[in-house]
Every structure is written in structure tokens, then in C-alpha cells.
A and B are shown apart, each in its own frame.
Chain A
Amino acid sequence: MTHISFFLGFAALLAATTAKAAELPESIKQAGVLRLTVNSTYAPMEYRDPTTNQLVGLDIDLANELAKRLGVKIVWSETPFAELIPSLQTKRADFIISGISDRSSRREAADFIDYLATGPQFFVLTENAAKAPSDLCGKKVGTTRSTSFPVEIEKWSKQNCEATGKPAVQYVPGENSIDVRNQLKQGRIDAAVQGSETLPYAQGQEAGKYRIVGEPFSTGYQGIMFRKDDTALREVVTEHLAAMIADGSYKAILDKYGLGANAVAQPMMNASTQ
């Protein structure tokens, strides 16, 4: 690169970062394509419709609406939950919107734009004797092992079981939320944990099967994950998300999945306290 073109490139970069309205990064704009990766085992956030095999869900709708406003198409790919962060790091995905909780431990790898209130929620089979979360002390509680929930359960157990002299919750690992519910149905575990936003759907699929115990036992947000150095993309997506919240299209998508109560008032960056 000659000195002059280097200078011009630098000037262009400067101009781009100081411009008022955020712009899509040039590479995405030229390709006209946004590459997004999801873990499609987490209905209703993202899952494959059993009849059409199409990717559907709240996150999918939000991303589609964002892409429409950005004037790009989405090329979807899928991956296990634990591979979402590596997919972002290896640039397989431009950003990640896949029911992933904003947690400080994950912020080493990415920045989160929080867009949905969530929290881990205990649930049991309807006929189970447990009435309050404290009844689950000493019981077997299962959850997806690749999520943040095992740590959450341990923390909750320390504060609410062990601190009051009750036996600790016995954590049992599961592979994904479907596997965990299967373990519950078989009686391998007494209770299970999933994000509160996914339980209305599970209950709708198998009416009367599950009963929620207590409230979500911590509060946090789900976030769209961006690479730390990808500020331009992060800003333009945040801007459009804010516009979607303002004009009601965000709320309409949440309501479609019965999750209007989980709405946030505005996109927030790295706002979870966990």
C-alpha cells in the first residue's frame, strides 16, 4: 500500500467512525449478506418448525426484521450451544442472536446488546410435591450443561439451601432443553431449569405436563453478541433495534410468542449484573 492510499484509507476510516448515522461495515454491505449462527434447540427463541423444517422463533423474527431494515439477506447456519461463541470469534457468524444470556464471564469474548429480560426458572412435573423453590433443596435438578444455568443453580443452592442448613441441590447435566425435559419425564431428575422465556412454549406443547415453581431465581438479559472490535456493526444493529422498539414492531414480535412481559425499554450494552 502506498503512503497516499494508506492516508486515504485512514481518512475514510475516520470519516466512517465519526459519521452520525451508523453504517453497515463495508464487507457486509458489499456482500449484501449477514451470516448468523443459531443453536436451534431452544423453542420458542429458535427452533425448526416440525412441519416445515424452517428455522422459526422470536430471535429469527427479530433478526429477519433487522435484516430487512439493513437491506441485507441472512444466511443462517446452526451449531451446538457451546460453539456459539467460537462461531463469533472465528467470524463464521457476524453476530449471534440465539437465546444466549449476557453474563460477565462471557464478556471477555464479546459485547452484548441486551434485548430481552430472562432468568433461570425451576419447573417440575405437575404431580410433583414441590410447591416452593426451597422444596428442591437436596433434590436432583437438571439443566443443559453447556449453559450458564449449572453455575446459577449452584449459586442459588448455596444461598438458599446450604445457608439455611438444608442439603444442597444435586445438579444433573443434560445435553439440551429437550433432553432435560426427557430426564424429568423419566424421573431421572426431580426438577429442571430453563430460561423463563422458553417455558410457555414447552407448556403449550405438552399441556398440563409441567408446573413452574416460584419465580425466575435470578434476573438478567439475553443479548445479541458482537465481536469486541466490531463496533460499527454493533452500533448499526443497536440503532435499528432501538427504532424497532420505538415503532412497536419489536413488541409485536414478542407478543406473537406470548413474551410481551419480557420486553426491554431500550437496547442496553452489557447491562446484566451477573
Chain B
Amino acid sequence: MRAAPTLAEGFPDISGMTVARQVHWQRWLAAAAILVVLAAIGRAFVNGQIEWTYVSRFLTAKVILEGITNTMVMAVLAMALGIVLGVVVAIMRLSSNPVLASVAAGYTWLFRGTPLILQLLLWFNLALVFPTIGIPGLWSARAVDVMTPFLSALLGLGINQGAYTSEVMRAGILSVDVGQYEAAQAIGMGRLRALRRIILPQAMRVVIPPLGNEFIGMVKATSLASVIQYPEVLHNAENIYYANSRVIELLIVAGSWYLLVVSILTPLQMLLERRFARGALQITR
């Protein structure tokens, strides 16, 4: 038996009282206010000058489905090009060869320093500078036959992405403990092999979240290629509203597709993160 606690002289006994729950009326008020505002916005959209039948009719129209397919094809290919360039440039940047390092730094400076839309327009209009392109004596072609809207968009988006990705990759490589290099050297690995077998696999764990971020950015950046006539989903939605003037309806259609794609990509990124974090699961959540 435990002795009952003795009360200090002059203090009332409150041990029998129940603790009253604090009423967070400000929280309730804030939540209610936010819900009212959201409901008002929702109501405004339902009652606004939006012909929802146009939204549902065009949501699965052939030209829109082709558009979102083209968007995804371009996003995947441009991101792949960006990652390849990014890895190469990051390794060059960390090289002790001053030519490689400064070319890599110059590449990042040039392609990160100019707007993406400007680069797309430059690639598309390249034929104004070089009417024919090719390898002397081997092969040549009219620049416009090579620089189709597809290739202009791929080069513009991919090379620009490479500049950003190289910095993500460099951060990933730098994040691997210097002891890992030394250990690789100690067992006789050359620098490139150590990178491939030891460093990059560990860097992957660090770079996946920012790369996922960049890829989601890329999905939306493909819409800029509409100005060079690449038929991605915004370009095709615009073409429809140029003809029928249903601007908001078609923008909602295109926006819904972007949201759907991004919603699918987010869990995929988590799966990918888990795979590359097999060796360090306790750190990631």
C-alpha cells in the first residue's frame, strides 16, 4: 500500500478533480471560416460561366489524349537526356582536369543562365543560322528536316534540364563520405570504377527526392514547347479553344491531366526512393 500523498498546509485538495479539456474555439472558428471560403469558391466555379459539358466532352477527346501522351513521352525522354548529361557534367565538374571542370561549369552557366523558352525558340529557329547541318563529307541535311518541333523540344528541355541535374548529381556525389573514396582506392579501384560501383549507388539515395521534384517540373515545362508547335496537351487544348473560344473549359481539361499525372508520379517516386534506400532503410521514412 502506498501512503496517500500528504497535502501541503493551506492548499486545497484538487486530486479528485477531472482535467477539463481545453476548448480550442479559435481552431474551430478558423476551420469553419476556411471551409466556408472553400465552399464559396466551389460554388462560384459551379455557378460561374463554365460550360461543364465541354469539360467532360473534351477530357477524353482523341486530340487531348494524344496531347498528354506526347507530354509524357517528351517529359520522360528529356528527363533521361537531362540525367545522362547531368551525371557526365557533374563528374566532369569534380574532375581535376581544368579543361573538363571549366567546360562543365560553362555548360551549367550557359544553360541555367538563359530562360528555357528562349532556348526552345533558339533550337527551333536554328535553321536561320545553319540552313544545313551534317558531318562534312559523310552526311548532311536541311536543318529544318532535322530540327523538327519534337527534336527542338527534346534538345531544349533535355539540355536545360542537364544543367540543373548536374548540380543535383554533384550534391549527391559530394554527400558520400570521403572515407568511401579512400576505401575504394585502398582496394585498388580507379576513380571511374569507384564512382560507378561505390559512389553513385550511394548518391542515388540522396538525389532521388530532388530528381523527382525536377521530373514533376519537367512534366509541366513541356507545355513551353507549345510555342514551337510540339503537340503536347496544352498546345492541343489551345488549338481547340482557338476554334471554339471555350478557354476556361479547355484549360480545366489540360490542368486535370497534369494533376492526374503528377498524382501518379508522387507514389512512384516513393517506391523508387525505397528501392535505392535498401541499405539505409532506418534513415528514410
Enumerate chain A interface residues (CB-CB to B < 8 A).
82-83, 85-86, 89, 105-106, 108-109, 145-147, 151, 172-175, 179, 182, 185-188
**Inter-chain contact count A-B, CB under 8 Å?**
44
Cβ-based interface call for B243 (8 A): yes
- Give every chain A residue within 8 A of B49 (Cβ-Cβ): 89
Shortest distance from the beta carbon of B65 to any chain A beta carbon, whole Å: 19
| Chief secondary structure at chain B's binding surface | helix
Q: A82-B238, A145-B239, A182-B125 are in contact. List 5 more A-B contacts (CB 8 A).
A: A86-B245, A89-B49, A147-B242, A174-B229, A187-B144
Contact with A along B106-140 (1 / 0, CB 8 A): 00000000000000000001011001000000000
| Interface residue tally on B, bucketed by range | 10 to 19
Shortest distance from the beta carbon of A242 to any chain B beta carbon, whole Å: 29
Of chain B, the residue at the smallest CB distance from A175 is B227
Contact A151 B227 (CB under 8 A): no
- Give every chain B residue within 8 A of A175 (Cβ-Cβ): 227-229
List 17 contacting pairs A-B, 8 Å CB cutoff, sorted by A: A82-B238, A82-B247, A83-B247, A86-B247, A89-B49, A106-B245, A108-B245, A145-B239, A151-B243, A172-B229, A174-B229, A175-B227, A175-B229, A182-B125, A185-B128, A187-B131, A188-B144
Contact A145 B144 (CB under 8 A): no
Question: Of A108, A146, A188, which is within 8 A of B127 by CB?
Answer: A188
Cβ-based interface call for B142 (8 A): yes
When A and B form their complex, which 10 residue pairs have the shortest distance between CB atoms, in order from nearest? A186-B127, A146-B242, A188-B144, A186-B144, A173-B229, A86-B247, A175-B227, A82-B242, A187-B144, A85-B245
Shortest distance from the beta carbon of B275 to any chain A beta carbon, whole Å: 42
Contact A109 B245 (CB under 8 A): yes
Of chain A, the residue at the smallest CB distance from B238 is A82
Shortest distance from the beta carbon of A31 to any chain B beta carbon, whole Å: 24
Of chain B, the residue at the smallest CB distance from A176 is B227
With A173-B229, A186-B144 as contacts: A82 and B241 at CB distance below 8 Å: yes
Contact with A along B233-250 (1 / 0, CB 8 A): 000001101110101000
Report the separation of the CA atoms of residues A82 and B49 in the bound assembly, to the nearest whole angstrom: 18
With A82-B241, A82-B242, A145-B242 as contacts: A186 and B143 at CB distance below 8 Å: yes
Report the separation of the CA atoms of residues A109 and B10 in the bound assembly, to the nearest whole angstrom: 84
Shortest distance from the beta carbon of B45 to any chain A beta carbon, whole Å: 15
- Give every chain A residue within 8 A of B144 (Cβ-Cβ): 186-188
Report the separation of the CA atoms of residues A151 and B242 in the bound assembly, to the nearest whole angstrom: 11
- Give every chain A residue within 8 A of B241 (Cβ-Cβ): 82
Report the separation of the CA atoms of residues A109 and B144 in the bound assembly, to the nearest whole angstrom: 39
Report the separation of the CA atoms of residues A8 and B219 in the bound assembly, to the nearest whole angstrom: 58
- Give every chain B residue within 8 A of A182 (Cβ-Cβ): 125, 128
Contact B127 A187 (CB under 8 A): yes
Shortest distance from the beta carbon of B262 to any chain A beta carbon, whole Å: 26
Of chain A, the residue at the smallest CB distance from B227 is A175
Report the separation of the CA atoms of residues A155 and B96 in the bound assembly, to the nearest whole angstrom: 64
Of chain A, the residue at the smallest CB distance from B49 is A89
Report the separation of the CA atoms of residues A172 and B239 in the bound assembly, to the nearest whole angstrom: 12
- Give every chain A residue within 8 A of B227 (Cβ-Cβ): 175, 179
- Give every chain A residue within 8 A of B242 (Cβ-Cβ): 82, 145-147
Shortest distance from the beta carbon of A86 to any chain B beta carbon, whole Å: 5
Report the separation of the CA atoms of residues A174 and B144 in the bound assembly, to the nearest whole angstrom: 14
Shortest distance from the beta carbon of B128 to any chain A beta carbon, whole Å: 6
Q: For chain B residues 138-195, which have a beta carbon within 8 Å of chain A?
A: 142-144
Contact B142 A187 (CB under 8 A): yes
Report the separation of the CA atoms of residues A174 and B227 in the bound assembly, to the nearest whole angstrom: 8
Report the separation of the CA atoms of residues A83 and B242 in the bound assembly, to the nearest whole angstrom: 9
- Give every chain A residue within 8 A of B142 (Cβ-Cβ): 187
